[in-house]
Amino acid sequence: MTLPYNPDNFKQYQPVIEAYVKARDQAMQKFDPEFYAACIEKLPSQHELDTQPINATEFVTARYGLLSAKEAAIVNDFPLPELLSKQLSGQLTAVQIARAFIKSAIIAQLATNCVMEFLFPEALEKAASLDAYLQQHGTLRGPLHGIPVSLKEHMCMKGHVTHASYVSLLGNVTENTCVTIQMLADMGAVFHVRTSQPQAIMHLDTDNNIIGRTRNPCSTMLSPGGSSGGESAMIAMHGSVLGIGSDIGGSIRAPAAFANIYGLRPTSKRFSGMNAISGGKGQESVPATMGPLARSLDELDALMNYYVNESKPWLYDPTCIPLPWDTKPELPAKIRIGVLFSDHLVTPFPAVTNAMKHVTEKLAQLPEFEVVDLDPYWLSEEEMTQAIDTVCTLYICDGNRQQQELIHKSGEPLLALTEFFFNPYGGNDALSVYENRKLNLVRDNMRLQVFQRVFPHCDFILSPTYFAPSEQPHESFYWGYTSFWNLTDYPNVVFPTPYGHHVERDATIPTLRDNRYEKVAWNGPTGGQLRYDSSKYEGGPVALQLTGPRFRDETVVAAAKKITAAIGIDRR
C-alpha cells in the first residue's frame, strides 16, 4: 500500500527546519563568541570541504591553533582511564574536560556537519555537579564520571525534540528517555551533543532534509557512512570520548570503517535500544542493536564492561539478556583467523583487497595466528544471493508502510538512497505472514550454515566491512558485507588498518562477477557505465571487520586487540 504523498506539504515545514538549525548554530556562537569567530575565519569554506579530500582531523590539533595546548591534550592525548584518574588526582575537572570537548565538537560540526543538537548548558551543569560530588565525597560518581559521550539523535531524550531525521517529527518532544542514555547518565557520563543520521535511518551514508550531508573527517569530500555517520564523524574528530550508535544493516560498522575508528555491533539483546525512534518498529526478523563507537578497543571494551556488568541493562529493558561481559575472555593459544576476501557476490574495490592481503600476510608471519582461507567453505554465489535478497526484503516487509507514514506526512523530498532502500532491486510489496515466515526460515538456515560450515574451520572471520574504502556521498548501494551479519546475528568488531586508498595503485579494475548485486555496486542502480573512478576515493581509509560466534562478543574484541597490535594500530 502506498500512502498519499504531497510535496507541497514540505513548504510549511521550512520555517520549522530553519528555526531548528538556527538554534543549533546559535548554541555554538553563544558558548564562546571569540572561539566561534576564530573557527569561522580559520577553517576551510564549506565548498572546499565538500569538494576536496581534506583531512579535518588536523583541525583539533594544537598546531592548527584553534585549541590551546591543554585543550588539545585533553581531547587528543588522554584515553578514558587517564581522564578519570586526572579528575581523581585534581589535575583536571569535569568542567575543564567538558569545555575542551565542547570546543572540539564545535570544530567537528563546522568541518563535517555532524550535529543535530548541542546540549552545552546541560553538559556544563552536569559537569559542575560531578566536580562538586568529587570534592565532597573524594570519589567518582561512577565509572564514566565526567566523560563526554555523544549520542545518535534518534535516541529519545525527555523534554527534547527527537525526530530521527524525519521532518514530520520536528515537533516531537519526547516524554521518555532512551534506556541506554539513562544508564550512561547514572554512570556519570556527560552528554554534550546529539548527532546526525540519514533520512529513514536506512542509508550507509548520512544525509537528510534537516541539516543536509555529513562529511567524512578523514577526507571531507567522502561519506562518513551511515546511519550512525554523525557519530563516526564526531568520534573521529575527537569531539567526544565515546559514542552510541545503532546497527540493523551496518550502521555502526560502516561509519566506523569510513571514519577510521572502532565500532562494535554486539549480538542482539545485549545492548538496549528501548525508547528510540525507528521506521522499522515491530519488525523482528532482522534485529537492530545499539552499540559503541570509540577511538580504541580498550575504551570500547571498558564501556561494554561498565554498561553490562555495572549497569545491567536487563534491569531496565526486559528484552535484554542477563549475560555478564567477560572481562577476561580466553583465546586459543593459536588463533585461527578465517579470511574471507570476497563474499562470493560483490568484488571489493582494489584498496580493500590490498588491505586484506597486507593484514593477512602480516598475521600469517606470526606464531600466535593461523590463517585459514575460507573460500572453499563459504556460501556459494547462489546462496549469498538468497541471503541478501532475504535481508533486503525483510527490511521492508510492511511494504514501507511505517516509513511512508513518517516521511509522507511532511511531503519532504525522498533522497536517492531512500528511494533505493524503498524499492531494492525492483520489489517493495508487503509480505504476508506466510511469506515472512518463509524468509525467517531462510534466515535461520543461513545462520546455521555459518555455524556448521564455516566456524568449524576458524575461531574468527576476517572480512571487508564494505566493498569500497570510504564511499562517495549518496553511492552506498551494497550493504551485504555488513547486513549478512545482521541477518544471521553474529557479533562484529570493526578496526582500522594502516592501509588506505591510493589513487594510482588502486586504479586497476579487477575481474567482475555477472550478478545484479555486482552491477549495482560497481555500476550503480541504473546499471550504466562503471562508476569506479580511483581519483574520487582519495583519502579514504580501509577498515576491516572481525566476526565471532554469537554471544561471545568479548572474545571478538579480545581477538581484534591481538590483530591490531600485530599490524601496529592503536588509539586513533
Query: HSE (CB half, 13 Å, CA atoms) of 338?
Result: 22
219 is catalytic: no
Across 428-563, the runs of DSSP E, i.e. the strands, are 460-464, 492-500, 541-547
Q: Are strands 369-373 and 242-247 parallel, antiparallel or unpaired?
A: unpaired
Q: Which one from 152, 409, 519, 561 is the annotated catalytic residue?
A: 152
> How large is the greatest C-alpha to C-alpha distance in the chain, in angstroms?
68
Residue 89 carries which side chain, given as an amino acid letter? Answer: S
289-294 and 492-500 beta bridge pairing: unpaired
SS3 100: helix
Determine the distance from the C-alpha atom of residue 521 to the mean position of all C-alpha atoms in its chain, rounded to a whole number.
20
Q: Give CA–CA dist 46/226, Å, rounded.
A: 21
Whether residue 227 is preceded by a cis peptide bond, meaning omega within 30 degrees of 0, is yes
Query: Any idea which residue has 567524512 for its cell?
Result: 216
Residue type, 516: R
* Known catalytic membership, residue 251: yes
Q: Identify the active-site residue in 232, 251, 296, 476.
A: 251
The catalytic residue among 227, 228, 272, 296 is 227
94-112 and 14-31 are packed helices; what angle lies between their axes, rounded to 10 degrees?
A: 130
- Angle CA 517–224–70, to nearest 5: 160
Query: Is residue 409 within 8 Å of residue 209, measured between CB atoms?
Result: no
Q: Read off the DSSP letter of residue 426.
A: G
The amino acid at residue 44 is: P
H or E element at residue 20:
helix 14-31
Residue among 368, 372, 363 at smallest CA distance from 334: 368
Question: Which residues are part of the catalytic machinery?
Answer: 152, 227, 251
